């Protein structure tokens, strides 16, 4: 498996892949080309034998506490539980650390229990500083992604570069 930066030429494939790789029907709309154009230095794909088997799209944000924000991450259902997403996270963490970030942040749909479990496994924690309510016992941020769109916000501190 190789990990490389995502490019605009990957966009068409990712758009098709997201429909079959993701149960969330909103995922298609979230796949903005911005992430393979303006933010391509923090977008990665995993390839095996020339075939894309996973992707992670993100960006860096620079408020007081610089953070690497993960917009989307997915692996091909045929290749799950084989370290594809963790390898993508490794590349992303290394890149954003180089850019001065001290933590990773992701906002997850509360219905996506698998993604929450996966991120806990990777060492993410609920960001309880920003949570303002709970859904089925899970801390969420109300309206994080727009009106009525609550999200589970998770963070992981990065070791210094």
Ligand X SMILES: CC(C)(COP(=O)(O)OP(=O)(O)OC[C@H]1O[C@@H](n2cnc3c(N)ncnc32)[C@H](O)[C@@H]1OP(=O)(O)O)[C@@H](O)C(=O)NCCC(=O)NCCS
CB of 24 to ligand X, least distance (A): 7
The residue from 6, 22, 43, 92 that contacts ligand X (CB under 6 A) is 22
Residues of span 54-113 touching ligand X by CB under 6 A: 73-75, 80-86, 106, 108, 112
Residue 124 interacts with ligand X (CB under 6 A)? no
Give residue 148's region: left, alpha or beta (phi > 0; psi -120 to 50). left
CB of 106 to ligand X, least distance (A): 6
Using CB atoms within 10 Å of the CB of residue 137, give its burial: 0 to 12 exposed, 13 to 18 middle, 19+ buried.
Answer: exposed
Residue 45 interacts with ligand X (CB under 6 A)? no
Q: 61-97: string of b/e by CB count within 10 Å (b at 16+)?
A: eeeeebbbbbbbbbbbeebbebebbebbbebbbebbb
Q: Which residues bind to ligand X, rule: CB under 6 A?
A: 21-22, 73-75, 80-86, 106, 108, 112, 114-115, 117-118, 121
């Amino acid at each position: 498996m190789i990990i490389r930066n995502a490019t605009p030429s990957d966009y068409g494939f990712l758009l098709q892949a997201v429909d079959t790789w993701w149960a969330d029907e909103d995922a298609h709309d979230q796949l903005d080309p911005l992430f393979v154009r303006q933010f391509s230095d923090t977008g990665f794909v995993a390839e095996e034998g020339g075939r894309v088997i996973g992707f992670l799209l993100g960006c860096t944000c620079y408020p007081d506490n610089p953070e690497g924000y993960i917009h989307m991450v997915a692996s091909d259902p045929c290749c799950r539980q084989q370290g594809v997403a963790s390898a993508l996270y490794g590349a992303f963490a290394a890149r954003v650390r180089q850019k001065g970030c001290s933590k990773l942040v992701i906002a997850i749909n509360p219905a996506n229990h698998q993604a929450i479990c996966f991120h806990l496994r990777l060492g993410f924690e609920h960001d309880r500083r920003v949570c303002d309510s709970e859904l089925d016992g899970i801390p969420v941020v109300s309206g994080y992604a727009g009106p009525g769109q609550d999200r589970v916000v998770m963070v992981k501190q990065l070791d210094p570069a």
